[in-house]
Chain A
Amino acid sequence: MDFYFVQFLSGLATAATLFLVSSGLTVIFGVTRIVNFAHGSFYMLGAYVAWSLVERWGDTPPGFWGGVLLAAVTVGVLGAVMEVVLLRRLYRSPELFQLLATFGVVLIVQDAASWLWGPEDLLGRRAPLLRGSVEVLGQPFPLYDLMLIVLGPLVLVALLLLFHRTRWGTLVRAATRDREMTAALGVDQAKLFTSVLFLGSALAGLGGALQVPREAVNLHMDMAMVVEAFVVVVVGGMGSLPGAFVASLLIGQLQAFGILVFPQITLVLVFLFMAVVLVLRPYGLFGRPEEGPPAGEAPGPPLRPDGPRAATVSLVLLAALAAVPLVAGDYALIVLTEVVILALLASSLHLLTGLGGLVSFGHAAWFGLGAYGAALLVRDAGAPMLPALAAAPLVAGLGALVAGWFCVRRSGLYFAMLTLAFAQIVWSVTFQWYAVTGGDNGILGVWPADWASSKAVYYELTLLLAGGTLWLLRRAAFAPFGYALRAGRDSALRAEAVGIDVRHRQWMAFTLAGACAGLAGGLYAFAHGSVFPTLMAVPVSVDALVMVLLGGLRTLAGPAAGAALFHGLETEAMRLTDYWRLVLGLVIVVLVLAFPQGVVGFARSLWDRRRGGNGSAAEPVA
């Protein structure tokens, strides 16, 4: 019993940190409507900056706490800078572009931190006066954690007072509901948003800084935390502070006791919990539906079916690709094989995101399921390559069929979070189920059949399968299925009114996209001869989104081009410098800033401007 109580207390301590970080995230989301992936990076920076300051001054209480606070303020300033330099230009951009921009920041911060503090884990000083532990029901419990438990509710109360008792807070809550009206009443949104980013980022920084005495500071803190913070925000209801607090408590306890009851699947529990909450309460525990549709993008021009010329161009391109082995060496073929596989992955995601208007944060799950399906068949059933390749889309498609049934019941960000939840569930099962998947050792020895063992033959095989699938996806886009999907994207209500079962079409699209991603995964497994859990981790999902966005949402050829561009960039940057993430992140940020409406949207607005409207007459207002 006593042991359980101490476990309960340590759950509370975890919850406090979780709340600090996710309260910042939920406030930022509430006002800017931007899904800020960089929030985890600010948490990590808070920890690093605090580590440095505490190393210097941390032997006295004022030094320690001064260091922690200064770290939080520093990170807050960085958040404000990000708003001024980057986010401010993107409030009218498509949601996905904002996401992409913040992901660029994640990459930049990763390498900046690695450059400044090195790749090693850093152990920080303990807090002066709070080094020891106290007896709680005969069990030792760290004093520092006790302090965190008290701090959590204090911060909640302070934030609630700030938002309900000050003019600034009132303005922020008004802007959360209706930005345009707030501006029409004379409120300078730019300043308001900068201050919100300062506050939100400072809270993340504070959360990170307070971790220094508890655990080692390392470069993986950012992604781990941002994913958990998103779970908290979504479970609590986006934009709700009390929601974030309750969700933090629940998830803190889930983690504290989950590890006792289900030590094998601790990682799954949190995401399973989020999935259940979202299925039962669509807007989270304390959330409410949006009033009116969010200021979405105007529907773009419709896709144009191919004329004979486009068909000729595609065939010529295919023939040219097929002829590459005549001139290129093995290295080029390996890179090109990967590009083709990624083009298939990106195109399958585009079916969902471009045509269906559904943004998936978890597309890597199906890529990974396909890869593992094929690899397991080879290792455990001794299956030859072709049947294993055929099984890949089936396994992934089946997974997507089940997950899709849940996911399509929600839309927008909630859909995205559900896909993330399922992807994380698949990933954690793979990661923790050593007996079958080998955990992070992966599965080795998944080599192509003898006849396909040369790089050239395997490349041609990949080209054939991927090309055929792309052709099918293209057909689907112009079949009644594709029209129905696009109708559901542009106006779900009107599509329903003309008799389209939008949800069913989305479900089928989800399954088809999953199956195609699975095939890509199978091809990837044989190309590399091995599979690892990283194949289905968040970064792969994000990479796929980046590829789709680079190419543009409104064209069918875009994702393939985006995949080539992205992989090319990544490969080159990796070859040239250790800081390839920094380069990639900067490229993403510059691209997003240069083309805030997307590359295709940019071309369109140029066209519009030539047609007459004076596009630059007024500041953005949305």
Chain B
Amino acid sequence: MTGESLLSVRGLEAWYGRAHILAGVDLEVRPGEVLALMGRNGAGKSTTLKAIMGLVAQRRGTIRFAGHDLTGLPTHRIARLGVGYVPEDRRVFTDLTVRENLEVGRQPPRPGVPAWTPERLCDLFPNLAELRGRRGGHMSGGEQQMLTLARTLMGNPALLLLDEPSEGLAPRIVQQMAAAVRTLKAQGLSVLLSEQNLAFAGAVADRAVVIEKGCSRWTGSMAALAEDEAARRAWLAL
């Protein structure tokens, strides 16, 4: 294990077929922190999260999580080690009710951490409580986003990978998401989120890694990024 980091990614490369998407991503998530992975559209943010999760077949580099080497593991083993993945396009199971969606995510509790239950999740996302019997396909986008996060929490992860949590959501829902992320952080969860929205990242993240064309370019605290106008213009501005 490298020092105090929970997740450590070194020299991560990934391909889709022949397309070389990631050419060298380095990042570290420390226990209890929220790290924002920032970059423009197509920079490789989503692919980085998918590669960590084992959802990209062709990848190279080292990915270590809590003392485990994730590189050769199948997706479900990575999830069971305590990495929770919330995809960008939500992907709720539309045929299943809210309750059943949560059931799919359920995994045994992790020692030393209070286990998530549907009841606790309904405290975190009050909307879900009223919708328990509703089918995933009959929910609004914001409700689906809450459900996706709740479903992943049912696996009691130690690290959350959040792919573009604010994308395509109404401002009110974005605020709820930010509040939820802060609550989770306060409970000791570590979060790696990919984000284009500087305001959202600024509201929740401690540090940021900026990537461009599949390589990490800048690492530092959120406050430093807010001050470094040159960096923002070079890698984030449209």
Contact = CB atoms under 8 A, between A and B. Distances in A.
Interface in A121-180: 167, 170-171, 173-174, 176-178, 180
A183 B96 contact: no
Contacts of A184: 53, 55, 75-76, 79, 85, 87
A186 B80 contact: yes
Contact of A171 (B53, B87, B104, B152): B104
B94 A291 contact: yes
A184 B94 CA distance: 17
Contacts of B13: 614
B112 interface: no
Given A178-B91, A613-B18, A617-B71, A187 B60 contact: no
A180 B87 CA distance: 11
B57 interface: yes
Nearest to A299: B17
Contacts of A173: 93, 95-96, 100
B10 interface: no
B165 to A, nearest CB: 16
B59 interface: yes
A617 B57 contact: yes
Contacts, number: 101
Contacts of A181: 87, 91, 93
Contact of B103 (A170, A612, A619): A170
A620 interface: yes
A161 B18 CA distance: 46
B151 interface: yes
Nearest to A301: B18
Interface in A593-612: 608, 611-612
A183 B73 CA distance: 12
Q: By CB atoms of chain B within 10 A, which of A174, A186, A620 has the most? A: A186
A310 interface: no
A182 B93 CA distance: 9
Nearest to A239: B95
A612 to B, nearest CB: 7
A182 B96 CA distance: 13
B104 A174 contact: yes
Contacts of B151: 185
B91 A618 contact: no
A110 B138 CA distance: 47
A215 interface: no
A614 B63 CA distance: 15
Nearest to A189: B76
A116 interface: no
Given A167-B103, A183-B79, A186-B107, A612 B74 contact: no
A189 B74 CA distance: 10
B72 A617 contact: yes
A479 interface: no
Contacts of A178: 91, 93
Contacts of B80: 186
A183 B57 contact: no
Nearest to B105: A185
Interface in B186-228: none
B150 to A, nearest CB: 12
Nearest to B104: A174
Nearest to B58: A613
Contacts of A614: 13, 58-60
A61 interface: no
A619 B54 contact: yes
A612 B57 CA distance: 13
Which of B79, B152, B155 has most chain A Cβ within 10 Å? B79
Interface string B130-166: 0000000000000000000001101100000000000
Nearest to A192: B76
B82 to A, nearest CB: 9
Contact of B56 (A177, A291, A618): A618
B68 interface: no
A619 B20 CA distance: 19
A619 B75 CA distance: 8
Contacts of A174: 93, 96, 100-101, 104
A612 B15 contact: yes
A170 B93 CA distance: 10
A170 B136 CA distance: 13
A217 to B, nearest CB: 38
B96 A185 contact: no
A186 B76 contact: yes
A621 interface: yes
Contacts of A613: 15, 18, 20, 58, 60
Interface string B99-111: 0110111110000
A182 B106 CA distance: 11
B74 A619 contact: yes
Nearest to B56: A618
Nearest to A178: B91
13 contacts: A171-B104, A173-B93, A174-B104, A183-B74, A184-B53, A185-B79, A185-B152, A608-B17, A608-B18, A614-B58, A617-B71, A618-B73, A619-B75
Given A291-B94, A618-B71, 12 more contacts: A170-B96, A173-B96, A180-B75, A181-B93, A184-B53, A186-B107, A612-B20, A614-B13, A617-B60, A619-B73, A619-B74, A621-B55
Interface of A: 167, 170-171, 173-174, 176-178, 180-189, 291, 298, 608, 611-615, 617-621
Q: When A and B form their complex, which 3 residue pairs have the shortest distance between CB atoms, in order from nearest? A: A186-B79, A619-B74, A613-B15
